Amino acid sequence: MSPEASEPAPTTPERAEPKAGPRAVPVFLLILLLGIVYGGMIYFDRASGWFDPQVYAPYHSASELALYQPPTGGLDLSRGKTVYDNICALCHNTDGTGKPNQAPPFVGSDWVLGSPNRMIRIPLVGLAGSVMVKDQQWNLAMPAMGAALSDDDLAAVLSYIRQSWGNKASVITPEQVKAVRAEIGNRTQPWSAQELEAIH
């Protein structure tokens, strides 16, 4: 209440005590507030990264960050190489050239470059007896690797063998390995070359 209001006014009767009543917020203020909230939400959506700890500016979201990951150079054979170097390279040599009286070569071998179905079978239960590789007679026993290697590892290492050292054959997927594994069931007897040659 202002002090003037308490002074007697000669011409008008005494006014009633002013009271605070409800008063509507001006419409322009509401619109302004809504506009600010709207802009804030847009800014939040663009700049927050939804609080993902992996998302730093200038990226806006986890999906944008995933988009900008550098390509691995087409096919990633690193997993297959790891498996190969750990297991296969002991006998077949790190460059796939084989070792005399231990294991035949992979480079340019029809067994490697031929049907995937045939190739997948060999590491699963092994191969024994005489086999012709690159016009050379081998008579050795390849041990079974099916129990030791997962479908993913087998697919990776077989793809690595089919794509390395100048070999250019199709990639083998884990699904193919899984299918062949199911097909041969619980066989533990190693293959003979004749059996495999019947498979295409």
Residues that bind another protein (CB under 8 A): 51, 53-59, 65, 67-71, 73
Cis peptide before 58 (omega within 30 of 0): yes
Instruction: Kindly state the smallest distance separating residue 46's Cβ from another protein, in Å.
Output: 12
SS3 of 178, please? helix
CB of residue 167 vs another protein: minimum separation in angstroms? 18
Q: Which is nearer to another protein, 42 or 148 (by Cβ)?
A: 42
**Residue 91 burial (CB count, 10 A):** 14
3-state SS of the chain: helix, strand, coil percent to 5?
45, 10, 45
The smaller minimum CB distance to another protein, of residues 60 and 178, is found at 60
Give Cα 178 to chain centroid, integer Å: 19
Q: How far is the CB of 71 from another protein (least distance, A)?
A: 6
| Residue 54 or 137 with smaller CB distance to another protein | 54
The least CB distance from residue 51 to another protein, in Å, is 7
